[in-house]
A = this chain, B = another copy of it.
Amino acid sequence: MKILIVDDEKMIRDVIKEYCLNNNYSVDEAENGKVALNKILNNSYDLMVLDIMMPEMDGFTMLEEIPKEKRIPTIVLSARGDEYDKLAGFDLGIDDYLTKPFSPNELIARIKAIMNRCNSNLSSTYKLDSLEVNFSAHYIKIDERIINVTPKEFEILTYLIKNKGIAISREQLLSKLWGYDFFGDDRTVDTHIKMLRGNLGEYRDHIVTVRGVGYKFIENEE
């Protein structure tokens, strides 16, 4: 179990490190978002403890830049207590957060909780009437019949469903599903949405376009 600690204050990194080592987790550190991003791209960690307020590259920006296949469970440290909105609207990949000052024991406890949760959270399917999306087995069924979609379409649908009810911008889709280094056209997303809708048949209207923003998946009328 390897944990990446991202914080600009050495003191804090040291404290967290100490506690992690005592609990048999191995640790790597980064003092800002840039370094962290680099480490994430070139190594594999099981969990990240991330400070939001950092010089060079802040935590939010960094999270956005992580390509999807490199995303890991993340506990966010935040100095101010009133930024929850941001956390909420932004990225649902954040697993937990703590407001500074926090107790190291509490952090450890949460790390344990997340480690447990992730291990037990594997095969899952999403169901909506006769629509069935199996995330792990990677198939979509409507009325018990397999619907063929391309990988990208599947990724998009999955992402929208996991963020159902929330409007997702094209940029967010691109950076999450294509990767931070994709420099193509926004409208590519539209084309995939078009294909996806075509394939979803009677469920096509569950992908709603939010004009000026992007798309969202809805379960019912809202």
Contacts and interface: CB of A to CB of B under 8 A. Distances in A.
A92 interface: yes
A86 interface: yes
Interface stretch (A32-40, A179-187, A206-214): A206-214
Interface stretch (A7-15, A46-54, A57-65, A108-116): A108-116
Contacts of A90: 109, 112-113
Interface residues of A, number: 56
Given A120-B92, A123-B165, A87 B99 contact: no
A25 interface: no
Given A105-B86, A109-B87, A113-B90, A121 B213 contact: no
A167 interface: yes
A124 interface: yes
Please state the number of chain copies in the assembly. 2
Contacts of A97: 106, 113
Contact of A167 (B109, B138, B164, B165): B138
Contacts of A105: 81-84, 86-87
Contact of A139 (B82, B95, B103, B222): B222
Given A103-B83, A166-B136, A151 B213 contact: yes
A95 B120 contact: no
A138 B213 contact: yes
B81 A136 contact: no
A216 interface: yes
Contacts of A108: 84
A89 interface: yes
A195 interface: no
A128 interface: no
8 contacts: A82-B105, A85-B124, A85-B135, A86-B103, A87-B109, A88-B112, A95-B117, A138-B216
Interface of A: 81-90, 92, 94-97, 99, 103, 105-106, 108-110, 112-113, 116-117, 120-124, 134-139, 141, 146, 150-152, 162-167, 210-213, 216, 218, 221-222
